[in-house]
Amino acid sequence: MLEVKGLHKAFGGNEVLKGLDFKVEKGEVVAVLGPSGSGKTTLLRCISFLERVDRGEILFGDLRHDMVHISKKKIREFRMQMGFVFQSFNLFRNMTALHNVMEGLTVARQVPRQEAERIAWEMLRKVGLEDRALYYPDQLSGGQQQRVAIARAIAANPQVILFDEPTSALDPELTGEVLEVMRKLAEEGTTMVVVTHEMAFARDVADRVVFMEDGGIVEEGPAEEFFRHPKEERTAQFLRRVLGDLESDR
């Protein structure tokens, strides 16, 4: 359903994505793993046009476009079909949680105000924050802010939601509530791409795992197989290290 082909991206002389192909099917949950600096976040930012690639092509639904020569209007069209959840939440600090969720509906999509408000309440209920709807972001905990951000991302019913390390900026005791919301979304059949360091989440929730290193995909496959029988030595090394950490945490 969403596919990018031959992504090249360099920052200065530093090549971050080296001709990467990436694909997600409808209803699929893909976890993108890899050591820091492997280009995971850059991949998501390129898909959502927050970074302009040097070369690449995107296929999304029935839209197909070159990613370098693309108008702002066309980019907006693509983005209207995507939801994005940032590591640092990025809620609008001058608006209540409710208005954060409504904003994309009323302003960008001309949904009537009452209808938008109904949807926003429903989304906040979904992430378990109905009682915080009228609070400003500064009055919410990190976990609550991220849940509002998820509600904002799903409000317009996008075809795919991109999560950029959604729990990395949270205190350990707050990651659970965010992962729980994401697990629920996955169960409802939401198409999701999740860049994460949460191995347990990737193993239990993702359908497919993509392992990246050095701007390319080293290995990908069904989540269970990936964790039990990694094919590549580099993947196995990575898993030993992070799962070892996971064990020693307990």
Partner 1 sequence: MTERLANILITSFTKILMPGIRVTIPLTVCSFAFSMVLALFLAIVQVANIRGLKQLSQLYIWIFRGTPLLVQLFIIYFGLPSVGVMLDAFPAAVIAFGMNLAAYNAEVIRAAILAVPEGQTEAAYLIGLTYPQLMVRVVLPQAFPIAFPSLFNNLISLLKDTSLASSITIVELFTTAQQIAARTFEPLAMYCEAAVIYLIFCTVLTWVQGYVEKRLVWEHKEGDRKGLRGLKTGV
List residues binding partner 1 (CB under 8 A): 48, 50, 76, 79-80, 82-84, 86, 88-94, 96, 98, 103-104, 107-109, 114, 117-118, 121, 133-136, 138-139, 149, 152-153, 156
In the bound state with partner 1, the residue whose beta carbon lies nearer, of 84 and 201, is: 84
Closest CB 120 distance from partner 1, rounded Å: 10
In the bound state with partner 1, the residue whose beta carbon lies nearer, of 80 and 236, is: 80
In the bound state with partner 1, the residue whose beta carbon lies nearer, of 90 and 168, is: 90
In the bound state with partner 1, the residue whose beta carbon lies nearer, of 101 and 185, is: 101
Measured CA to CA, the distance from residue 119 to residue 41 in angstroms comes to: 30
Closest CB 58 distance from partner 1, rounded Å: 15
Q: How far is CA 165 from CA 14, 89, 91, 126, 161, in A?
A: 22, 10, 16, 21, 13
Closest CB 248 distance from partner 1, rounded Å: 33
In the bound state with partner 1, the residue whose beta carbon lies nearer, of 97 and 186, is: 97
In the bound state with partner 1, the residue whose beta carbon lies nearer, of 49 and 211, is: 49
Q: Are 35 and 41 in contact (CB under 8 A)?
A: no
Closest CB 84 distance from partner 1, rounded Å: 4
Tokens, residue 170: 């949270």
> Rounded to the nearest 5°, which phi and psi values hold at 140?
-110, 155
Tokens, residue 109: 């999509």
Closest CB 168 distance from partner 1, rounded Å: 14
Measured CA to CA, the distance from residue 160 to residue 29 in angstroms comes to: 10
In the numeric block, the tokens 């976990």 are attached to 143
In the numeric block, the tokens 């001309």 are attached to 110
Closest CB 92 distance from partner 1, rounded Å: 5
Closest CB 89 distance from partner 1, rounded Å: 8
Measured CA to CA, the distance from residue 136 to residue 61 in angstroms comes to: 35
In the bound state with partner 1, the residue whose beta carbon lies nearer, of 105 and 202, is: 105
DSSP string covering 15-62, please? Answer: EEEEEEEEEE-TT-EEEEE--TTSSHHHHHHHHTTSS--SEEEEEETT
Beta strands at 2-11 and 14-24: parallel, antiparallel or unpaired? antiparallel
Q: Is 161 helix (H, G, I), strand (E, B) or coil?
A: strand
Sign of CA dihedral 89, 49, 187, 204: negative
